[in-house]
A and B are shown apart, each in its own frame.
Chain A
């Protein structure tokens, strides 16, 4: 992974770090099985919770003879990380741990992930391959506006960028004025942050009269850490002229750089030589064949600090079948547009915030600043969507604005099948975020 290896590969169409992406399927499966067997042994020997669960099922490490045998193994969940807080799921002694990361848990305590030196290298490799897939090269100037710290976004992309030889600007989140100034002055070509924060940057930039297409050198945006839609991608690209890439990952599995989309945008290629994906039926937990939709599950084949066996992500996706025109053999998962945890039940109907976003984006000229408020009026759930008025949508004519409200309402109803009250809001008044944005306020939870 040393840098000198890439010194002569400035503008190569296929970056050498991407080589494992193209491994022949047969050899890839053999490698995965070999790594899985080693992992199961390590976890069985070092993690009491998993050993207990395997013993209860009568499963021993040597029972893993094919990749399909992974279905014999117990799942891990976020609640396990919470129950075993802080170090119960560690498979390496503290002597080998070099870094912790935390992510917010379902209750007060965070979940803690320990990384060994090797885990950090594997993670960096994933981020390098993700960036290389986006077309990022050593000549790029990359602004990392993900938060640095316990959250994995900042440090993950940072090491990925440095690994490729980019000039990295580790600005972290926040201080939007300075972000815009440095982006412009330093000729930043790659921005890495959450899609909602980038929208905020666009918004503030436009307020200052900055034309992103003319006054910025940005080429690529590497966006992740929250679900977003294809419609949002179109908005970002048409407003700024950049190519918006989708990067996926989660702290429990390492961080960003678990999967990323290639130029054909047929889902996100998973770096499955390290992160083995499965799709299971969320109710029965039975494995589903490629192509079917269900809950995404990952096994961290090479991690040693806090390895995850069949970790249930709560994200809904499917594994694409058939080859991708880019030639990669690592499989791709469908873009994550829904997290089970985000699902709202409104008047008995399952609604994902991303469906509402898709409806909003289908209306011409609606800018993507919105907030969803779910409440209750008597026995009936209420759904209100606040949408900010923009230069494009504002008219001095009441009828035009009422028609806009109607168009938004119909577009949303077409997708979620329930009616919503659309409220137009003054510009820059809805909550903004410098990290992961909170799009929903559920007032029913306070009752």
Chain B
């Protein structure tokens, strides 16, 4: 039920993010979603791509340090209070969110979010128990096509 996210270290300098995207584009890898977390000094790019092994390989070959983490993609109702409901479920399960960001596509009337939990298994269990959609890689990437 978990999907792979790759992340890269980035200096806050013009053109650096562009170079990463270009490297992936040349390898014909489509970025499904991307989030940039940055401080004054440096940034971390997090990417979801279908062929994460290939992406890791081409980026490492280009000299980047690449980290692979497991994250959870879950649906959140796109209406007032939708997010609060999910946070509630997670909070009750005693799980913390380290960070989260959104996919550009929708799942029916719902938004799809990427979560990094400190305890992914427990979070998935709690979300499913409350009837939320949690996506595995195959279903998720099918939505994007």
Chain A interface (Cβ < 8 Å from any Cβ of B): 207, 389-391, 394-398, 401-402, 405, 423-429
**Cα-based distance from A239 to B29 in the complex (angstroms):** 33
Would you give the shortest CB distance from B119 to chain A, in whole angstroms? Answer: 15
Contact A396 B69 (CB under 8 A): yes
Tell me the nearest residue of chain B to A426, going by C-beta: B11
Query: Using Cβ atoms and an 8 Å threshold, which residues of chain B touch A390?
Result: 65
Query: Using Cβ atoms and an 8 Å threshold, which residues of chain B touch A207?
Result: 60-61, 63
Query: Using Cβ atoms and an 8 Å threshold, which residues of chain A touch B60?
Result: 207
- B98 contacts partner chain A, Cβ-Cβ < 8 Å: yes
Contact B98 A424 (CB under 8 A): no
- B18 contacts partner chain A, Cβ-Cβ < 8 Å: no
Given contacts A396-B46, A397-B98, A401-B42, contact A426 B64 (CB under 8 A): yes
Chain B interface (Cβ < 8 Å from any Cβ of A): 5, 7, 9-11, 16, 37, 39, 41-42, 44, 46, 60-61, 63-65, 67, 69, 98-99, 116
Given contacts A401-B42, A424-B42, A426-B10, contact A396 B64 (CB under 8 A): no
Given contacts A394-B65, A429-B11, 11 further A-B contacts (CB under 8 A): A207-B60, A207-B63, A389-B9, A396-B5, A396-B44, A398-B44, A402-B39, A424-B11, A426-B16, A426-B64, A428-B63
**Cα-based distance from A327 to B99 in the complex (angstroms):** 61
**Cα-based distance from A365 to B131 in the complex (angstroms):** 43
**Cα-based distance from A73 to B9 in the complex (angstroms):** 58
**Cα-based distance from A397 to B5 in the complex (angstroms):** 13
Query: Using Cβ atoms and an 8 Å threshold, which residues of chain B touch A391?
Result: 65
Tell me the nearest residue of chain B to A390, going by C-beta: B65
Query: Using Cβ atoms and an 8 Å threshold, which residues of chain A touch B5?
Result: 396
Would you give the shortest CB distance from A408 to chain B, in whole angstroms? Answer: 13
**Cα-based distance from A426 to B9 in the complex (angstroms):** 6
Would you give the shortest CB distance from A199 to chain B, in whole angstroms? Answer: 16
**Cα-based distance from A427 to B8 in the complex (angstroms):** 10
**Cα-based distance from A207 to B61 in the complex (angstroms):** 7
Query: Using Cβ atoms and an 8 Å threshold, which residues of chain A touch B7?
Result: 396
Q: List 25 A-B contacts (CB under 8 A).
A: A207-B60, A207-B63, A389-B65, A394-B65, A394-B67, A395-B67, A396-B7, A396-B44, A397-B44, A397-B98, A398-B37, A398-B39, A401-B9, A401-B44, A402-B39, A405-B41, A423-B41, A424-B9, A424-B11, A426-B10, A426-B11, A426-B65, A427-B9, A427-B63, A427-B65
The 8 closest A-B pairs by CB, nearest first: A396-B7, A428-B63, A389-B9, A394-B65, A427-B65, A396-B67, A424-B42, A394-B9
**Cα-based distance from A395 to B65 in the complex (angstroms):** 10
**Cα-based distance from A405 to B40 in the complex (angstroms):** 13
Tell me the nearest residue of chain B to A421, going by C-beta: B41
Would you give the shortest CB distance from A421 to chain B, in whole angstroms? Answer: 9
Tell me the nearest residue of chain A to B38, going by C-beta: A398
Would you give the shortest CB distance from B39 to chain A, in whole angstroms? Answer: 6
Point out the residue from A394, A396, A424, A428 that lies within 8 Å of B41, measured CB to CB: A424
Would you give the shortest CB distance from A405 to chain B, in whole angstroms? Answer: 8
Query: Using Cβ atoms and an 8 Å threshold, which residues of chain A touch B69?
Result: 396
Would you give the shortest CB distance from A92 to chain B, in whole angstroms? Answer: 51
**Cα-based distance from A207 to B58 in the complex (angstroms):** 11
**Cα-based distance from A62 to B99 in the complex (angstroms):** 82
Would you give the shortest CB distance from A382 to chain B, in whole angstroms? Answer: 15
**Cα-based distance from A391 to B67 in the complex (angstroms):** 7
Query: Using Cβ atoms and an 8 Å threshold, which residues of chain B touch A396?
Result: 5, 7, 44, 46, 67, 69, 116
**Cα-based distance from A398 to B98 in the complex (angstroms):** 10
Which of A389, A401, A405, A426 has the most B CB atoms < 10 Å from its CB? A426
**Cα-based distance from A424 to B116 in the complex (angstroms):** 24
**Cα-based distance from A425 to B12 in the complex (angstroms):** 10
Would you give the shortest CB distance from B49 to chain A, in whole angstroms? Answer: 15
Tell me the nearest residue of chain B to A204, going by C-beta: B63
Query: Using Cβ atoms and an 8 Å threshold, which residues of chain B touch A424?
Result: 9, 11, 41-42
Tell me the nearest residue of chain A to B6, going by C-beta: A396
Would you give the shortest CB distance from B113 to chain A, in whole angstroms? Answer: 17
Query: Using Cβ atoms and an 8 Å threshold, which residues of chain A touch B46?
Result: 396
Which of B5, B16, B39, B116 has the most A CB atoms < 10 Å from its CB? B39
Contact A425 B11 (CB under 8 A): yes
Would you give the shortest CB distance from B99 to chain A, in whole angstroms? Answer: 8
Would you give the shortest CB distance from A239 to chain B, in whole angstroms? Answer: 16
**Cα-based distance from A71 to B61 in the complex (angstroms):** 59
